[in-house]
Each structure stands twice: as C-alpha cells, then as structure tokens.
A = this chain, B = another copy of it.
Amino acid sequence: VVAVETDLRVNDARWTPPTIRDVAARAGASLKTVSRVVNCEPGVSPAMERRVRDAIATLDYRPNLTASNLRRVGGRTRSIGLLLSNVGNPLDSGVQRAIELAALDRGFVVIGSTIGEDADREREIVNIFTARRVDGLVIMAAGHDQSYLAEQRRMRISMVFIDRPAAMFESDTVVVDNEAGSAHGVAHLVRHGHRRIGFLGAVGTVVTTEQRLAGYLGALQAADIEIEQSLIAVGIQGSEAAHEAAVRLMSGANPPTALFTGQNLITIGTVRALRQLDLHRRVALVGFDDIQLFDLLEPRLTVLAQDPLAIGRRAAETLFARLDGSTEAYRTDVIPVKLIERGSGEIPGPFAG
C-alpha cells in the first residue's frame, strides 16, 4: 500500500510537498499548534503533540525554512555569504571549512563564491547575495575600494574581511601578521649567516605584499644590512613569472645567497629556478605560505605557515557576535604565522658562525 501511494505521488506531476496546513488538517489542529510542535514551543498537550507528530510522519511533512525565515522578525535568512579568492588555495578552503562548521552549529547555511582577483565580480556577487538577504558576509576582497558596502551596512548585513582589510571602508577584519611574520623569516636567514637576501613578491599594490615587503625591509634594517633595490623584485604574477624573476636575480653580478618569497606560487617558481640553476642546495630559501608537499621537496622547504582554520574560526566568531547584536567598535584580529624550519631556510650563508 505504501509503495503504491508513493508511486502515485511520484507520478503525479501536480503533487506538491505537504504544507503546515495539510498537517493541521490531518491532525485536526490549528496552524499555530502545528507550528508550536515543529518549533518545540511550550504549551501543547502531550496528546495533541502526538497527533501532530503522527500527521507529520505520515505526510512526510518538512517545514519550509525559507517561508519561516521570511515571516520571522527581521526577515533574517540564517545564511551567510562567503567570497573567496580561490577555493583551490589551501588558505581559502581552510577558511571555508571553518566557517561552514561554525555556521552549521548555529543553524546557518553558507553560500559561497570564488571571485579571483576580479573587483567587478566581487561587486556582482555581493549584489546577488544581498538580493538573497544574507545576514552576513565574509569577504576576501578583490577590489581596492569597498565603500560601496555602505548600502549593505545600512541593510544591517554584518561583514568581516579576511586576509586583507577593506579599503575606504571600516569593518571587522581578520588578517595574519604579514609584516612580523616576514621579518621573522628574514631574521631567520640573517641568523644563518646571510646578508645578501633577495625578495620576490606579488603585485605591489596588494596590501599583503606591501606588508611582507615591509617586514623584509625592517628585518634588514634591524640587522644593519644595507637595502639593495637590485635584490628586490615585486609585481610578480604566478609561478612562471617567479621562475624568470628568480633566474634573473641569481644571474646578476653579485647574486644573493638567500631568497625570501612572499607567496606560495612565487615560492614554487623560485624552487624551479633554483633547481634549474642547480643552486637549490646552496641558496637558502624561506617562503610565505605553506602548502602540501613543500615538506617532500629536496631540500624540504622552510616556510611561514598561516593557520586557515584559525582565521576562519575567528572570522565566524566575530560575524556571529555582530549578528547577536554586538555594537563594539570594529576590531582587527591578527592571527600569528608560524615559522616551520625544514631545511631550505637553514642552509648556512657566508657569515654563518
């Protein structure tokens, strides 16, 4: 009998999922009573609750959360939008996982999108998510001006920026300690006897690059090492370009004995270059960002590792605090990076003790 009934429903093109009315009718109760049972509100007699639950079970009723949210106070959707630069990146996927977990715990859902480094795409996605009335946004910004988000703020959409702070717009932010991290990495090379240290960085206008370069410069100054512009290459896009830049740097008149790379793709290109020049065992290398398999290379790569899960968790905490009504001043959380010594950064330089 059940099978036949099921078949009928499947085959009937006009069949629609049961609503709260259907349940109420079947249980001989009112809408509100069913609503109370569904939402575990008090004030329903055990007998009535039984009847309602039976009706729910026989009808396979599933409350429509969309409709429920629409009516609820504030029209909140219990959803948050997540804009990432590139899910293929371990940083991004770690952040996503952490945020999904936190959201799930609170009955929220995460709608996500990759935006690359495309400022237009960033705005487009924000608009789409806004139309869906997300309660909050977690944004790894692509553009250089987030002032347009004033509109979202007016609509009471909470926002947290990760990896890079928003520009022209004040907001909660979770970043890593780019400058101190880089300084630490460069100081590590100095400690191992290097004084001619090259820097290879991504596009200079990106804040993270600026900060990492600042850390490099600071560490050299702290060690009383003169800064040589010829040892600094920024504006590198991708591993191929990094490969070329590293070859150029190492082929100069007085090449560096150590390199500091400001991003994982650049590190990869640099490793290729050093291999090609057969310098990978003689030139020390410390890179920003850790990725899988860096510990399987020869020599194993010394890196400054970010903690994507910690970043995501903190972003979620901050966002949910806002959603819970916090009106504190905007905060910027700085997550520390960790130096992982594996070999490439400990290759001794000419001034090694």
Q: Could you list which residues of chain A lie within 8 angstroms of chain B, going by C-beta atoms?
A: 6, 9-10, 15-17, 60, 62-67, 69-70, 74-75, 77, 79, 87-88, 90, 93-94, 96-97, 100, 104, 109-114, 128-133, 150-151, 153-155, 268, 271-272, 275, 291-294, 296-298
Residues on B with beta carbons closer than 8 Å to the beta carbon of A75: 16, 64, 66
Residues on B with beta carbons closer than 8 Å to the beta carbon of A268: 292-293, 296
Closest partner residue, chain B, to A9 (CB atom)? B154
B114–A112 CB distance below 8 A: no
Closest partner residue, chain B, to A150 (CB atom)? B6
6 nearest A-B pairs in the assembled complex, by CB-CB distance: A293-B293, A87-B93, A65-B131, A88-B93, A17-B155, A111-B111
- CA of A55 to CA of B16, assembled, Å: 37
Residues on B with beta carbons closer than 8 Å to the beta carbon of A131: 62-65
- CA of A148 to CA of B96, assembled, Å: 28
Mostly, the A contact residues are: helix
Closest partner residue, chain B, to A67 (CB atom)? B70
With A15-B154, A66-B133, A69-B66 as given contacts, are A112 and B113 in contact (CB-CB < 8 Å)? no
Taking each of A130, A294, A296, which has the highest tally of chain B beta carbons within 10 Å of its own beta carbon?
A296
A77–B66 CB distance below 8 A: yes
Beyond known contacts A62-B131, A63-B131, A292-B293: 16 more, CB 8 A cutoff: A6-B154, A10-B154, A16-B75, A64-B75, A66-B77, A88-B90, A96-B114, A97-B114, A104-B113, A109-B129, A110-B112, A268-B292, A268-B296, A271-B296, A272-B296, A293-B296
Closest partner residue, chain B, to A271 (CB atom)? B296
Closest partner residue, chain B, to A13 (CB atom)? B156
A153–B109 CB distance below 8 A: no
- CA of A62 to CA of B66, assembled, Å: 18
- CA of A275 to CA of B69, assembled, Å: 57
Q: Can you list 11 A-B pairs, Cβ within 8 angstroms, ordered by A? A: A6-B154, A16-B75, A17-B154, A64-B75, A65-B131, A66-B75, A268-B293, A268-B296, A291-B292, A292-B293, A297-B297
Closest partner residue, chain B, to A327 (CB atom)? B13
Residues on B with beta carbons closer than 8 Å to the beta carbon of A88: 90, 93-94, 97
